[in-house]
Chains A and B, each alone.
Chain A
């Protein structure tokens, strides 16, 4: 009887291991715990261009922030306790995704004229479900190039579209588009005046292809308005003189730009040799006939 009691206890302990969370199951690598994902969404509006949300997925693994690729993200419009789906997107190898919104007319603002967008991930074998959101109001930047006393300026005005009001005391960044990172010009902070306007002088001699500069006026990552960007094409730069061998006859150029000495030397060798070969073939014919 005593032996039977011991058996029961052992049996229950054994069974309990399967029932209790974190029993033997911890031994299996396949069931390792899932990691959390952090979703960050940023709103970007290009005046006269795209309106989109930049989404970034990261996860803290072994005390390091890792970008999470290949996550399917749902994007939706939060409106009066309702989630209106806008579409899906997948993060790239850097954990980033750009979700383009057709236009602001495609989404609905709340009573304060604030747009609320949500992003969510349903979870998978490796990562837990996650969500994030971004809220913004609609702002416009009107920018133009003006010239006063032979000095070029960028004049820009920032306004709230719904409130139809000019936004004062907001910092705008003026920069020239470049391949890797933009070239900032003007003061470090260009605050708008009571008319929501700024006037920034553009110095001479900034290089641009054919003298064209793409000057950006940016309201950068504003709490209320997100990022709003206006791009002005200004033909006031110093034309870049390209010192390229692209159109020259070089060893690395395409076939129609082969250097003449190679054409002549190699061509001479080929035609000379094959000329003799053809002569030898004619000799074979002559042998038959003689």
Chain B
């Protein structure tokens, strides 16, 4: 049992350590390099990328789909576990909310980066056609972004009130800010009722909205008649993939935050074990959809689809395909199926493999299909026959990933990373139950 002062001391935001500062500087350098590359892309146009007439969705769209997938963690880890009243979610629920916000914000930014003329962004709204999945995407992303922010903010309100009081003497400036963010929270019965009701509404709402987001993302591809995309399996396939990417990211971030903030007493092996089970479940479901997506067409696909599958299984994209499938899915499943594999460090390794696999998986979904157009590629420069991202694309994409990590880092720095009020309530409840038993 941890007393109130120790709890507050452990969970209240603290200054960056030297390592933390180095990490932030490292991220800022990558971001600055990416911004310079992006300015050059704006100046010269998308000719600086290696996207041409055939591969017109390249690494930017792959990265966008990865961010969208990762943002699904908010729906899964937070909302579903909250609604099913799983108490073990408490220590990592806020980290999941932070990842969700960072990922969906970066998804929105990435799609603007992919636009050759971002100054025409408003045209997406002005000339929107409600029949177009692109329009649905334009609508759903800001919607999910707002809901994710509300999902992060509402549970934080009581904690802000606690931090206001905590920093009143030691850091009055911080106390003032936390006070403003706490919206004059006193913990009155009326406030608690509104608060609980609002969180319940968000938890319910984010699940269908999250499912819609992943589905629309899948429909962007599957409504195009292209080989490899034209699949009725695509929406559930994307949802299960997002489930994997989201939980995988959560595992990695939790491990790092736990280590950096010394939260071993709060995020224990028990929590990793539970998360490991959730991740292996996600991976198994995703494996099932992968079999549906890639194995069944071996028996019934037409010529163009067979060519596409050949490219993935034994052709130009076979190495990344098998690395992603085996390294990013099969091996993590084998590791996580065993109890020893669900200890923190093996979980970290499995999580990293899953996240890297999830990123490259999007690349494999986007690019090979574009190399199989309806008509043969001919009468164009040789360089248009293949695609590999240019230096500009790598720099910009790295910067977006660094930006997502920077958002997570800064939020982890300034927010109580484990819900203080909720942890206190749970301990109080635990104490009351024990007394009642006595």
Contact = CB atoms under 8 A, between A and B. Distances in A.
B295 interface: no
Contacts of B146: 277
Contacts, number: 57
Interface stretch (B105-113, B127-135, B275-283): B127-135
Contacts of B131: 251-253, 258-259, 262
B183 A280 contact: no
Contacts of B139: 266, 270
Interface stretch (B194-202, B265-273, B355-363): B194-202
Interface stretch (B170-178, B185-193, B368-376): B185-193
Interface in A99-117: none
B150 interface: yes
B123 to A, nearest CB: 12
Contact of B157 (A262, A274, A287): A287
Contact of B129 (A254, A270, A273, A290): A254
Contacts of A290: 188, 190-191, 194
Contacts of A4: none
Interface string B156-189: 0100000000000000000000000001110010
Given A280-B201, A283-B194, A283-B197, A255 B184 contact: no
Given A280-B198, A287-B191, A273 B205 contact: yes
Interface in B119-156: 127-131, 136, 139, 143, 146-147, 150, 154
Interface residues of A, number: 25
Interface of chain B, main secondary structure: helix
Nearest to B209: A273
Interface in B27-76: none
A277 B143 CA distance: 9
B150 A280 contact: yes
B412 interface: no
A244 interface: no
Interface string A253-275: 11100110011001101100110
Nearest to A254: B129
Interface string B191-222: 10011011001100100010010000000000
Nearest to A251: B131
A288 B194 contact: no
- Most B Cβ at <10 Å: residue of A262, A273, A288: A273
A269 B150 contact: no
Contact of A255 (B130, B147, B197): B130
Contacts of B129: 254-255, 258
Contacts of A280: 150, 154, 198, 201-202
Given A255-B130, A258-B131, A287-B157, A274 B194 contact: no
Contacts of A12: none
A284 B198 CA distance: 9
A277 B157 contact: no
A287 B130 contact: no
A145 B181 CA distance: 86
A277 B130 contact: no
A222 B179 CA distance: 95
A275 to B, nearest CB: 11
Given A267-B130, A276-B205, A279-B201, 11 more contacts: A253-B131, A258-B130, A266-B139, A270-B143, A273-B205, A274-B143, A277-B143, A277-B146, A280-B198, A286-B194, A290-B191
Interface of A: 251-255, 258-259, 262-263, 266-267, 269-270, 273-274, 276-277, 279-280, 283-284, 286-288, 290
Interface of B: 127-131, 136, 139, 143, 146-147, 150, 154, 157, 183-185, 188, 190-191, 194-195, 197-198, 201-202, 205, 209, 212
8 contacts: A253-B131, A262-B131, A270-B143, A277-B147, A280-B150, A280-B198, A286-B194, A288-B183
